[in-house]
Amino acid sequence: MDEILLARSTFGTTMAFHIIFASLGVGLPLMILLAEVLYLRTKDSDYRLMAKRWIKGQAILLGVAIPSGTIAGVQLSLLWPGFMEVVGKVISLPFQIEIFAFFLEALFMSIYVYAADRLTPWMRLLSVFLVLVGATASAVLITNVHAFEGTPAGFDIVNGQIVNVDPWAAFFNPSFVVTALHVTVSAYMTGAFVIATVAAYKMLKTRKDTKEFHFHQKALLMGLIVGGTFSLLTALNGHESAQYLHRYQPEKLAAAEGLFETQPYAPLAIGGYTDPVTKEVKYAIEIPWALSFLAANRFDEVVVGLNDFPQEYWPPLFIHVLFNGMVGIGSLLIFVGFIGFAWKKLLKRESYPRWVMWIFVASGPLSILGIEFGWVFACTGRQPWVIYRMMTTAEAATKAEGLGFFFAIFLAIYILLGIVTVLVFKYYFRRHPLRLQDGSQEAAK
């Protein structure tokens, strides 16, 4: 296998693993905060118990996110020395500030985990809020480096030298805001739907006339409402992201939709796959004019096709499948959230049909899969550039050989970490089952 492809595969595997824990590490604190708010407002101690149990899950996830994130940082230096030279001189600010964001998250999560019973409700609320701020800031700051790769700013490369450096211009690059919003709302959506998954599964295994069933029912409704709301916000932000691609990375948008000819009134291709030989998207459903509207909110907008770019600058054409997977899952989750809310609040039904419950169970894994599709699409769709139109992936990669061994080692590490994480969750919550008492609920220690 090509060494550059091995470097990409090694780092890509690391990020595919880490992003699961990073996304949940941002999304779960929001759910914990909302549970604390509902407890303050309703005095229903079920919500207090939810918060105390969910924070234990957050602590386990953070315990895996830290080593996997550390591995990612080390791999950046080892596998991408050319890119890290630019990072060190131009875009190091997000990395530096992220350290303080992580300290904020870790400090107040420790306070909440170990001292929650000795804090007043308002102090607990403040602690969880600062955990949420720290986790969200960490995600935004790290993702800002990815935004910079797609819309570089704040420096020039002249005769191979980095000149005219403006770190703040690099920090606030053109896609900073839209990327920050996208990573935030998608993480909040994922955290909520994972809560919904667990609650729905527990409800399927519990008798309807028990307090435990009603406890999980509250958690399910909370997860569906929050998840559905943020899935809608993710879709709206995704529309804005497509407009940024149209403006700054037109070949990426063209590859995402399998568009080869530049044209106004461009159609949107749903489904199918892109055939590089015939230069068409086979078995797709085309919506006339929709791509032009997606790109610029007008049907007559001219969308640039792949044929206007040298073929060596084309992103891999399979990103059309990734793009459709991401959008399809996001659309389904909007529908899932709406069904959950409407069935309970509008139709006033006491319980959901069993087949609907299994859809709720699937919502969490689907949201994680949607994030994976989106992340791979975003990074692969930028190829062959590591810094768009300024540095190719080949120029940034290490010249070392023998990377296949390291790829295998890291893959084994992630498999082991994944298995251990599942076992720790099962062991902890089996030893600390949900206990509900008459008139009150007490959290597991």
DSSP string, 33-101: HHHHHHHHHH--HHHHHHHHHHHHHHHHHHHHHHHHHHHHHHHHHHH-HHHHHHHHHTS-HHHHHHHHH
Confidence of residue 197 (pLDDT cuts 50, 70, 90): very high
Which helix or strand (DSSP H or E) is residue 334 part of? helix 319-341
**Structure tokens belonging to residue 370:** 């949607």
- In the predicted model, what is the mean pLDDT of residues 269-278? 89
User: If you ran DSSP here, which 8-state letter would residue 342 be given?
Assistant: I
Least confident piece of the model among 216-220, 229-233, 349-353: 349-353
* Three-state secondary structure readout of 89-105: HCCCHHHHHHHHHHHHH
Residue 304 has pLDDT above 90, yes or no: yes
Confidence of residue 434 (pLDDT cuts 50, 70, 90): confident
Number of C-alpha atoms within 13 angstroms, CB side, residue 48? 20
Angle between helices 3-42 and 403-431 (to 10 degrees): 20
**Structure tokens belonging to residue 217:** 């029912």
Which helix or strand (DSSP H or E) is residue 351 part of? none
**Structure tokens belonging to residue 135:** 């986790």
Number of C-alpha atoms within 13 angstroms, CB side, residue 364? 20
pLDDT value, residue 347:
64
**Helix, strand, coil in percent for the chain, rounding step 5:** 70, 5, 20
Residue 437 has pLDDT above 70, yes or no: no
pLDDT value, residue 388:
93
Amino acid at 386: V
Rounded Cα distance, 363 and 39, in Å: 25
Least confident piece of the model among 13-17, 263-267, 397-401: 397-401
Which distant-in-sequence residues (6+ apart) come within 8 Å of 350 by Cβ? none
Confidence of residue 32 (pLDDT cuts 50, 70, 90): very high
pLDDT value, residue 366:
96
Rounded Cα distance, 60 and 25, in Å: 10
pLDDT value, residue 1:
52
206 assigned to some structural domain: yes
pLDDT in tens, 230-244: 999 999 998 899 999
251 assigned to some structural domain: yes
203 assigned to some structural domain: yes
Confidence of residue 443 (pLDDT cuts 50, 70, 90): very low
Selection from 151, 143, 142 nearest residue 252 by Cα: 151
pLDDT in tens, 13-23: 999 999 999 99
Q: What is the CA radius of gyration of the chain?
A: 23
Three-state DSSP class for residue 324: helix
Residue with tokens 């791979």: 376
- CA torsion sign for 31, 32, 33, 36 is positive
Verify cis geometry, omega within 30 degrees of 0, for the bond prior to 81: no
Amino acid at 330: G
pLDDT value, residue 445:
39
Residue numbers of the domain that contains 188: 175-398
55 assigned to some structural domain: no
Confidence of residue 440 (pLDDT cuts 50, 70, 90): very low
As to burial, measured by CB atoms within 10 angstroms (0-12 exposed, 13-18 middle, 19+ buried), residue 439 is: exposed
pLDDT in tens, 93-146: 998 898 899 889 889 988 888 877 788 888 888 999 999 999 999 999 999 999
Q: How many domains does the chain have?
A: 1
Confidence of residue 346 (pLDDT cuts 50, 70, 90): low
Instruction: Answer for the pair 331, 348: CB distance below 8 angstroms, yes or no.
Output: no
H helices of 262-352, where? 290-296, 319-341
pLDDT value, residue 122:
86
Query: Mean pLDDT across the chain, nearest whole number?
Result: 89
Residue 396 has pLDDT above 70, yes or no: yes
pTM summary value: 0.92
pLDDT value, residue 439:
44
- In the predicted model, what is the mean pLDDT of residues 383-395? 92
Confidence of residue 348 (pLDDT cuts 50, 70, 90): low
Instruction: Answer for the pair 14, 75: CB distance below 8 angstroms, yes or no.
Output: yes
Number of C-alpha atoms within 13 angstroms, CB side, residue 100? 4
Residue 204 has pLDDT above 70, yes or no: yes
Rounded Cα distance, 328 and 338, in Å: 16
pLDDT value, residue 342:
81
